[in-house]
Amino acid sequence: MLDRALFLFRRDLRLADNTGLIEAARRAREVIPVFVFDTHVLSRFEGHSMRLAFLIESLVQLEDAISRAGGSLRVFVGDPAAVIGDLMTRENIPLVMASRDYTPFAMRRDERILSASNQSFVAVPDALLNEPESVLKQDGTPYQVFTPYHRAAQSLPVAGPQSESEVTFGNVQWGHTLRDALALVAPGVRAGDSPTRAGREGALEALEHALSLDDYERSRDVPSEAGTSRLSAHLRFGT
């Protein structure tokens, strides 16, 4: 077992049932929790302050959960590959882990992180019911029509919730606190600005609301009713 490893939070802003975090705790005695405000991604948030407020509120709840578990969320601003590469070299970190991400942008970013970490970066499946490469046609190519894809995917097992694993968080002073980082990247946005309650608490409330919808087929199309699940932002940020 390694003495310590970094865990990079991205689209999985929670401690519960976080497969990548659980795996990091299995591989290292101490896990140092890190979040990087990617300056490229931040530029795309311009004009979308509600989305940024949702992210900020989710990070506030995550930071509080880590603090209650004895750790400290360390926050950085910049290019994730450069930040992680510098941390691993400067602090002699042997491993960085994160949850796998799937967009073309994310895959290019993770290739850069893999290179900057000297091949010591592990991305763990977490967000999807099935990994893309696990649902293929008999000739090994991806499905292009939904119905046969759906039939094939339904035949595969789906992982259940991960049992809780005790994580020993590192309490270091690298980078910024969340409060200091927010003063740099979003001085005019507050956590409470989001019209939707964010973070793990908001996600559980939204899930309870979704399960209570008895007439979803109709109510989802009626703007005057609270007839949608309200889960999309929580799925986006992994709360």
Residue-range domains of the chain with CATH: 2-195 (3.40.50.620), 196-239 (no CATH)
What is the rounded average pLDDT for all residues in the chain? 89
pLDDT at residue 93 is higher than 90: yes
14 versus 48: which is more confidently predicted? 14
Instruction: Note the pLDDT of residue 44.
Output: 75
Q: What is the pLDDT of residues 96-129, one digit of tens each?
A: 999 999 999 999 999 999 999 989 999 999 888 8
Helix (H, G, I), strand (E, B) or coil at 202: helix
Q: Which long-range contacts (CB under 8 A, 24 or more apart) does 171-176 make?
A: 171/70, 171/71, 171/72, 172/32, 172/72, 172/74, 172/91, 173/72, 173/74, 174/32, 174/74, 174/87, 174/91, 175/34, 175/74, 175/75, 175/76, 176/74, 176/75, 176/76, 176/77
CA distance 120 to 93: 9
Instruction: Work out the percent of the chain whose per-residue pLDDT is above 70.
Output: 97
* pTM of the predicted structure, to 2 decimals: 0.90
What distance in Å separates the CA atoms of residue 34 and residue 75, rounded to the nearest whole number?
6
Give the pLDDT confidence score for residue 48 in this predicted structure: 63
The pLDDT tens digits of the residues spanning 123-166 come to: 999 888 888 888 898 898 999 999 999 998 888 888 888 776 68
> Which pLDDT score is estimated for 101?
93
Q: CA 191, CA 202: separation in Å to the nearest integer?
A: 13
Pick from 177, 163, 215, 130: nearest CA to 21 = 163
DSSP 96: E
Q: Which pLDDT score, from 0 to 100, does residue 122 have? A: 95
Q: How many CB atoms lie within 10 A of CB 78?
A: 15
Average pLDDT over residues 228-238: 85
- pLDDT of res. 140: 86
- Across residues 14-36, what is the average pLDDT? 95
How would residue 218 be classed by pLDDT, with cut points 50, 70 and 90? confident
pLDDT tens by residue, 32-64: 999 999 988 887 766 567 888 889 999 999 999
